[in-house]
A and B are shown apart, each in its own frame.
Chain A
Amino acid sequence: MNMIYIVFIVLLGGALLTFFANRISGLLRDTFFLLTILATTVLFFTKIHIGDTVSFTLAGLNLKWGLDAFGWYFSLIVLGLGTMAAFYALSYMKGKDRLGYFYFSFLISILSMLGILMSHDLVSFFIFWEVMTWSSYLIVIYSGRNVQKNGINYILLSALGAYAMLTAIVMVYANIHTLSISEMINTYPQFSHVQQVWLPVLFLMAFSVKAAMMPLHVWAPGAYSDAPMAYTSVFSGALSKMGIYGMVIVFVSMISYLPDDTLFKETFAWLGAITAILGTLWAIAQDDARKLLAYSSIAQLGYIITGVAVGTDLAMLSALFLAALHALFKGTLFMAVGAIERQTGTVKFTEVTGLIRKMPWTFIASLLAIIALAGIPPLGGFVGKWMLYESLINSNHYILVIAIFFASTAAFLYCYKFLFGFFLGQEEKEWENVKEAPALMVLPMLILAAGTLVLGTFPGILLKPADAAMQTLGYASTEGHLWSMSILFNEWGDQVLLRPLVYAIAGTFLFFLIILTVKGWKNTRYVSTKDISSSGEVPLEYENLTFSVNFYQPFLRAVGPVMKKRMIYYYREFGSGMEALFDYSRRIYNGNGQTYAIYVMIFLVIILLFKNSIFG
């Protein structure tokens, strides 16, 4: 039997075993869960090679699965992050109930993502897409918080996207009578003009939902923050990348054939940029770390979308690089929040402060991730952003550069808020007994954070597979000149000019960090955060006076007009309008049997009167 089948069977069987083992014992369940994910990872990377395919027939449709370099690149993200998150989850989820359900959904969502990446035909792509939707939905509603709001928002928008995609798929199927994705791409130039425009629009709708692009992002803050953090790292790090994966295919293989493809590309590049800016602004305004990271994810995905949409080889390379990197640092950050949540029971900046000494390892992991996120050298984020800027400038998108630059500068604000709010500042009596999270949680975080460090220094590790992936998409092989595409790299993919500078910066930074910490250890006078002067005003008892309250008030006041109405407001208005309409429409059934009988007669008479036009 083909290895591709075996991977899927292992995942599905493992998921079921985990689910049922929950009834028997917790240890058995954890073992099955870990074994499944490890076996999958090992099997996938050792036994499945790029170019393997299988095909079979189901319900009269020819389905084909296989692996190409592009899919492999993304599976790296999925399985890498998935494995780390799995280890993390074992410890994070300990003691919660319904664990069989959680692990089952976790594994199924990993399965569905692998399925998406290995689908070579539209139907299995759609099937796995939907499986991904409901398996992640199951986890979003796992905690039971706000299920009717956030859960329904998520499934609703996902369904909107998925059905847009389904429409496109059936249109393609009716047109070319085959479901193969490559066949669709090959015959795309021969489609009618209307279809040529609509197919990418419909596909992109589906992918933008998952990639949380404005204005289809409204599900993301709620869903990201409601899912257990062990999964949110995968959710934001890997699952949203499926949207990027699809977008890349659509942009490369469809939109570039359109005569007026620039319009598409510009629009999406700008949508990405707007997503990045607004996401950043909203992230700054959050007091809840989960929400902050959720908005930050939206913003980061915005950069990636811009890169994909611009679509020059450097831009694409930067998008792919950022996609992987985002998985690393956002995975770390969500895990860190999870650790804090587990240890302190809250994730509000306004409640927790000064954890740096209580949870040093978490702090270090977060620090690295934050630096990567903010795009400060020497970590990987810098490389990706640099490439993005460079590609935008090279392709003459100057205003876009400014927008992106604004967004990533503003991102410093929430990065700082995250670090400062949780780890720095004064220690509170309330959190005196907080301990570092268990090793099983800290290690995955550190590994991922170390990943960003490694990639910052040796980006070639990731650039090589990214280059192979881009070749399968039809970009010219850049093997020879890839590393000189950006002024940043030498032939080995290492940073040339900046490496000494980078080390210098890092060294200084660490030095001052140590000095300050040691110094602060001795000299700081500890008072309660509530014990601050308030300029003559007597604070009320219930007022929270932590410094994290209204952290960036002046800034937010400045950008206030942009953020007055959230997008979700319009969705809500639309939704309640529709519900009112529905409520009104059901009044047709007014409960009187006689009226129903009159309806019958009305129906009959209408047909009788129009019988000649109905039955020609």
Chain B
Amino acid sequence: MVGTPVLFIAIPLLAAFLIPLLGFVWKESVRILPGLVLLYLLYLAVNLMGQVAHSGTIVEVIAGWAPPWGINLVFSPLTGLLTTLMILMGFIIWIYSYRFKNIDFREAVKYFILLLMMITGSVGIVLTGDIFNQFVFIEITSISAYALTAFYKGRDSAEASFKYLIIGSLSSMFLLLAIVLIYSQLGTLNMADIADKAHLMKPGFKILALIFFITGLGIEAEIFPLNGWTPDAYAQAPGPVGAAFSGIVVKAGVYAMIRVIFTLFDVSGTHQFLIIIGMITLIIAEMAAVKQDRLKRMLAYSSIGQMGLVIVAFGIGTEEGVFAALFLMLNHAIIKSLLFLSGSYLVYNSTEKYIHETDGLAKHLPITSFLFALGAIAIVGMPPFAGFWSKWSILSAAAHSNMILVIVLILSVSIIELVYYFRVVNRIYFFPKQKEVEPKRPTINALIAMSILGILILVIGFYPDSVTGYLHSASQSLLEKGKYIQDVLSTGQLFIQ
């Protein structure tokens, strides 16, 4: 027994509380501790994934009260997969930002606490089996995200953060309203219990709660038109944080929404709604991305578009569709993080982050540019890189459901995507360098982090079977609603004196 899922929350929290204390004793520990924690959690996650594959979903009870009375954590193939992904991305981002704020110790303390908490919050969103608890974790994630967005002084980061905060507050309002409606009807907050009893709700409640959930969680999942905050926040946050947003936070938001739609309520029409809304998100975002003149903003819009695609894939609703969606999430996490991480070195010494400032940097930053190009070519779905397989799986899922229009739209949008990514790559490689730009060489730890991501892209691209098995069992576990309810509610009552 290596541990249980609750350690994913408890240990980082303990570490976060410890970091300021350790800072008094040994400054370097502030940087090392989060990495150690994440490394341990990665080890734990991988172990638990093996355990789950072997003996089924782990339901962990907290404070000794069996669900639905106590809060429980569910480590199923699905949540386990996402947790592992998030912890992995978190670890890579930690490697990347190990030397972040090297000079100013006090800022580093805050950065690492907030980053660790953002990761923990996202993991909590995924693991928890209780809607109110999920709300709390969403708030933990959001508050860390607000602070990290506004982390850089002397830029417009506070503006971005404030926009995020306004919309984030609306999000929490809708979530609470939905919780109120559910509680007033069922008197329970446990997801499995709600799913079990959802048919007891009076008409009207269910749909209104669902609408509030979709609106509230849609804000976290970057659905159009709820995503006004996204490009600003991505563009203004420090590079690793942007990577964490697209690799970790959004994934948690999408998961929460999907959990609500697939497990909590079974309302007909939701899937079509998801497809339509995802499609609109995808199209608008990719259209907006074409004309961006700032690199990170472009990446942000692209990230929104990809999330739209993920939502479309979930909307298809078949096992294949869910598989495609999860595959997309995985690939997007890896590739978009790579783009953010390498992209932020390409525009390192610039405040405005214009794309034309990356002109001709390939000569000065060969590895960074190469990795950026690799990410660009992978995210547009060129084989044999990772992005192709997810694109293939979503298209074939759509084809199996006879959604030709969806296929055509996805592919047309892919062409748009291809144009703006290749334009940037061309600039990096073939344009004359701007004189006033001073390229910043990536530190060794940043290079390691980016290379890991690059290698992952190649590995998944050449040997997709390395992940498809996990993805298949994860998608099955999402679709088996009855099993989820049974797994959670059959956990024995444990009050031990």
Contacts and interface: CB of A to CB of B under 8 A. Distances in A.
A167 B398 CA distance: 10
Given A147-B426, A579-B291, A582-B291, A614 B273 contact: yes
A586 interface: yes
User: Which interface residue of B211, B377, B398 has the most chain A CB atoms within 10 A?
Assistant: B211
A152 interface: yes
A131 B383 contact: yes
A597 interface: yes
A596 B268 CA distance: 29
Q: Secondary structure at chain A's binding surface: helix, strand, loop or mixed?
A: helix
Contact of B219 (A126, A595, A600, A602): A600
User: Which interface residue of B208, B301, B429 has the most chain A CB atoms within 10 A?
Assistant: B429
Contacts of B219: 600
A101 B84 CA distance: 36
Contacts of B416: 582
A173 interface: yes
A589 interface: yes
Nearest to A580: B291
A187 B415 CA distance: 31
Nearest to A145: B430
A173 B399 CA distance: 8
Given A130-B383, A134-B382, A141 B225 contact: no
Contacts of B272: 614
Interface stretch (B30-38, B114-122, B136-144, B388-396): B388-396
Given A151-B426, A171-B399, A600-B170, A593 B162 contact: yes
Contacts of B372: none
Nearest to A124: B383
A608 interface: yes
Contacts of A60: 465, 468
Interface stretch (A155-163, A357-365, A548-556): A155-163
Given A126-B383, A156-B419, A615-B210, A58 B287 contact: no
Contacts of A607: 211, 214-215
A535 B196 CA distance: 98
A144 interface: yes
A603 interface: yes
A242 to B, nearest CB: 16
Interface stretch (B94-102, B332-340, B401-409, B482-490): B401-409
B231 to A, nearest CB: 6
A174 interface: yes
Contact of A58 (B207, B211, B292, B464): B464
Given A170-B407, A174-B402, A585-B288, A599 B225 contact: yes
Contacts of B388: 127, 130
B442 to A, nearest CB: 19
B114 to A, nearest CB: 21
Given A159-B415, A582-B287, A607-B211, A170 B396 contact: yes
Contact of A602 (B208, B225, B389, B408): B225
A582 B225 contact: no
Contacts of A77: none
Interface in A565-606: 579, 581-583, 585-586, 588-589, 593-597, 599-604
Contacts of A583: 290-291
Nearest to B170: A600
B231 A589 contact: yes
A209 B219 CA distance: 41
Contacts of B429: 141, 144, 147
Given A134-B377, A599-B225, A602-B225, A615 B464 contact: no
Interface in B152-168: 159, 162-163, 166-167
User: Which interface residue of A593, A595, A608 has the most chain B CB atoms within 10 A?
Assistant: A593
A597 B384 CA distance: 41
Contacts of B382: 130-131, 133-134
Contacts, number: 162
Interface string B277-297: 000000010011011100000
Contact of A597 (B166, B267, B301): B166
A133 B210 CA distance: 45
A167 B410 CA distance: 10
B396 A174 contact: yes
Nearest to A174: B399
A152 B389 CA distance: 24
Interface in A408-458: none
A614 B261 CA distance: 14
A141 B426 contact: yes
User: Which interface residue of B301, B389, B422 has the most chain A CB atoms within 10 A?
Assistant: B422
Contact of B422 (A151, A604, A614): A151
A357 B464 CA distance: 58
Contacts of B218: 603
A6 to B, nearest CB: 17
B423 interface: yes
Contacts of A160: 415
A283 interface: no
Given A58-B465, A130-B383, A615-B273, A582 B166 contact: no
B418 interface: yes
B418 A156 contact: yes
Given A159-B414, A581-B287, A582-B290, A596 B166 contact: yes
A130 B402 CA distance: 25
Interface string B411-435: 1101110110011001101100000
Contacts of A123: 392
Contacts of A171: 399, 404
B274 to A, nearest CB: 11
User: Which interface residue of B163, B290, B377, B399 has the most chain A CB atoms within 10 A?
Assistant: B399
B364 interface: no
Nearest to A575: B419
A170 B316 CA distance: 15
Given A148-B426, A151-B422, A593 B395 contact: no
B314 interface: no
Contacts of B411: 163-164, 166-167
Given A127-B388, A597-B170, 19 more contacts: A57-B465, A59-B392, A147-B426, A152-B426, A159-B415, A166-B392, A170-B407, A582-B287, A582-B291, A596-B225, A597-B228, A600-B167, A602-B225, A604-B215, A607-B211, A614-B269, A615-B269, A615-B273, A616-B268
5 tightest Cβ-Cβ pairs between the two chains A and B:
A596-B228, A586-B288, A593-B163, A174-B399, A170-B399
25 contacts: A58-B465, A59-B464, A130-B383, A130-B388, A147-B426, A159-B414, A166-B395, A166-B411, A170-B395, A171-B404, A583-B290, A583-B291, A585-B288, A589-B288, A596-B163, A596-B167, A596-B229, A597-B166, A599-B226, A600-B215, A604-B174, A604-B215, A607-B214, A611-B211, A615-B267
Interface of A: 57-60, 123, 126-127, 130-131, 133-134, 137, 141, 144, 147-148, 151-152, 155-156, 159-160, 163-164, 166-167, 170-171, 173-174, 579, 581-583, 585-586, 588-589, 593-597, 599-604, 607-608, 611, 614-616
Interface of B: 159, 162-163, 166-167, 170, 174, 207-208, 210-211, 214-215, 218-219, 225-226, 228-229, 231, 267-270, 272-273, 284, 287-288, 290-292, 301, 377, 382-384, 388-389, 392-393, 395-396, 398-400, 402, 404, 407-408, 411-412, 414-416, 418-419, 422-423, 426-427, 429-430, 463-465, 468
